[in-house]
Chains A and B, each alone.
Chain A
């Protein structure tokens, strides 16, 4: 085939252009570590990557939700532990009060202690661990849940669940109603009254039994907090391993294999040098060079 001079140059030019293009591409990939710069680099891969990234972000949000729920449940757990102590002490007081051998001073000390326990119980029931939300109000989080009028406590929260997403298909309740705390407060009122009136029969027959009921009830609540906390831990572990898996997949789609990319870069550099050498070689030869002076 006849090769024109223009074509000779054009072909060299094209070859050089192509090798420069390849080299720049691999340089960019090595520099950024990414193999998808825009969707057309891998349309299927990019859509997949978008969906994967969404899942990762969603999981991260579940992680934040779990941490939030855990804080709330930990505060609740502490509250139930404190109430447990109050109940334990109350039981001792009731047992002691039912015993007729107490003198007036001892009885007075027991009454004082019951009053102190009531104050602590109210503090626990109306606490705001984060300074904003009442732990036991239910959804009326800004309303103090237990009010006392004429010494009688009443629960004015709505006791409704505070729900948290901890996974795509799992919502848990992170709060407990404070209604039973108000009831317990009023039970302590009864005990106080019975101590005052020295009604040891009532103390030993009814109150002791009621306190034991409360004890087992709050014990159950504490167990329930434990169940929920363990569920949070389980989901957190699940999310972590799922996140590792997802980010691994994401990297496989979006990121280059560095070793391969570097070897490709080296190759393209060699190709570029070779094409430049051929270019200068060809350029230097021409029939005119051999014609001297006509």
Chain B
């Protein structure tokens, strides 16, 4: 046995336990870091040496490696579920915005305003010659027009914002892909050196989760430690290279137009935004159809009627849909409202009555529904879509929460546990120091024999 073997053994152990303390410190320091996996020190005994043919003696401990405690299968599931949740939660948020703009049920919505207009028509039918009744018709119509226009404008703004956010989402995903490629290179370099680059891996996992959240990307882990990322059939990241997603967003097909094949977006925020945009487009179309039917039906009747001065042919509404509906300049003077069906009979209410009856008239253009039924149906649809997406997002959140809990139970830092480790390594360190001082005193004893006093 070499003379200083024992001291070296002690020193090695002290170094190992110091590493243990440092790793514990690192874990404690990162107790609040999102996505951090706790590190574990793997100790191994160093090779024995042959004291004599019959006896082999150990030489102490070394730190074999420091590893992240992480379950890769679980990570994959979390990524998939994160993409699902992002899709549903984005849709939920957007539908809530869309719904809020309806201002239903209430007195400010289109439903109440449409009623008020029909009531004003009925008032006009009762008093077809009255200027006051005509004035109320104009007021009610102008309130309805304003409400339709403002809903249209607000929805339109929302639609524009959705388009912008889709582009931003794809851009961010492409940025992340570039970073992921770079990390892949660094991790592979570290990997070939034999050491695990835990912090880089954590960082890469975080980026990957974010990518799943954005575009529902899927990961494939190679044996050399590198990560491949896919969106549908498109390879987003391979080794150090990234292949950006095109910005050609095709909402109706829920894909990105690309050659040779389009890239289908199944999940993530991007899909949520696409779904919201498609839903909104459908609502906008319905609002336009409703408005167009209102304009056409009212104008067709009104045009045939006679005003207070016996003139005919006036239009009531201007425009073709929710974007441009307005009161027609023909009726800027209330005398020109054509309530009468007979020239020179201001007490005749033929047209006013016909306008009132429009209220309960099934419209072919609206699939046999009346105007208000069609509108109420739209409100119900928006409400139901918002409701369903809220329920789905909530239940998906529970699933994701559950997976996070499992991951935390595997990878999360427990301060109690780390405190225990701290004590353990400190005591071990003290014991190893004691080993050194013991061997030191042995050597001193030997030196006392040989050294002159």
Contact = CB atoms under 8 A, between A and B. Distances in A.
Interface in A151-170: 158, 160, 162-165, 168
A163 B414 contact: no
Contacts of A6: 31-32, 408, 412-413
B154 interface: no
Interface residues of A, number: 55
A50 B375 CA distance: 10
B390 interface: yes
B349 to A, nearest CB: 6
Nearest to A141: B347
B112 to A, nearest CB: 7
Interface in A271-294: 286-288, 291, 294
Contacts of B102: 38-39
Given A39-B380, A54-B111, A137-B347, A287 B415 contact: yes
Interface in B97-137: 99-100, 102, 104-105, 111-112, 115-116, 118-119, 122-123, 125-127, 129-130
Interface stretch (B207-215, B297-305, B418-426, B432-440): B418-426
B97 to A, nearest CB: 11
Contacts of B345: 138-141, 158, 160
A65 B412 contact: no
A40 B383 contact: yes
A61 to B, nearest CB: 4
Interface in A1-43: 1-7, 10, 14, 36, 38-43
A40 B386 contact: yes
A51 B123 CA distance: 20
B146 to A, nearest CB: 19
A112 interface: no
Contacts of B379: 39, 46-47, 50
Interface in A28-85: 36, 38-44, 46-47, 49-51, 53-54, 57-58, 60-62, 64-65, 68-69
B250 to A, nearest CB: 28
A98 to B, nearest CB: 41
State the main secondary structure of chain B at its contact with A. helix
A178 to B, nearest CB: 13
Contact of B409 (A7, A40, A139, A140): A7
Contact of A39 (B112, B383, B410, B423): B383
Nearest to A140: B345
B414 A294 contact: no
Nearest to B419: A287
A4 B420 contact: no
Contacts of A44: 380
Interface residues of B, number: 64
B405 interface: yes
A147 B328 CA distance: 39
B409 A4 contact: yes
B445 interface: no
Interface string B83-106: 000000000000110011010110
B122 A165 contact: yes
A4 B27 CA distance: 11
Contacts of A38: 96, 99-100, 102, 104, 383, 386
Contacts of B129: 132-133, 141-142
Nearest to B33: A6
B408 A7 contact: yes
Contacts of A168: 360
A183 interface: no
A254 interface: yes
Given A40-B384, A141-B347, A163-B353, A7 B405 contact: yes
Contacts of A10: 408
A132 B414 contact: no
Given A40-B96, A57-B116, A138 B126 contact: no
A1 B402 CA distance: 13
Contacts of B384: 39-40, 43
Nearest to A40: B386
B409 A164 contact: no
B346 A142 contact: yes
Contacts of A141: 129, 345-347
Contacts of B348: 139, 160
Contacts of B100: 38
B386 A165 contact: no
B126 A65 contact: yes
B117 to A, nearest CB: 11
B423 A43 contact: no
Interface in B347-371: 347-349, 353, 356, 359-360
B116 A68 contact: no
B3 to A, nearest CB: 33
A87 B379 CA distance: 62
A287 B123 CA distance: 79
Residue in B100, B383, B415 with the greatest tally of chain A CB atoms within 10 Å: B383
Contacts of B112: 53, 57
A47 B380 contact: yes
A247 B401 CA distance: 44
B158 interface: no
A140 B347 contact: yes
A294 B422 CA distance: 9
Contact of A61 (B123, B408, B417): B123
Contacts of A2: 409-410, 412, 414, 417
A64 B346 contact: no
A162 to B, nearest CB: 5
A53 B115 contact: yes
Given A61-B119, A139-B346, A160-B345, A39 B412 contact: no
Given A1-B409, A138-B345, A164-B125, 18 more contacts: A4-B38, A10-B408, A43-B384, A46-B105, A47-B377, A50-B111, A50-B376, A53-B105, A53-B111, A53-B112, A60-B119, A65-B123, A139-B348, A141-B347, A162-B347, A287-B415, A288-B419, A291-B423
By Cβ-Cβ distance, the 10 closest A-B pairs, closest first, are A4-B412, A39-B383, A141-B347, A40-B386, A43-B383, A139-B347, A139-B345, A47-B380, A287-B419, A43-B384
22 contacts: A1-B409, A2-B410, A5-B413, A6-B31, A39-B104, A39-B379, A47-B379, A54-B111, A64-B123, A65-B123, A133-B129, A138-B345, A141-B129, A142-B346, A158-B345, A163-B349, A163-B353, A165-B353, A171-B353, A286-B416, A287-B419, A294-B426
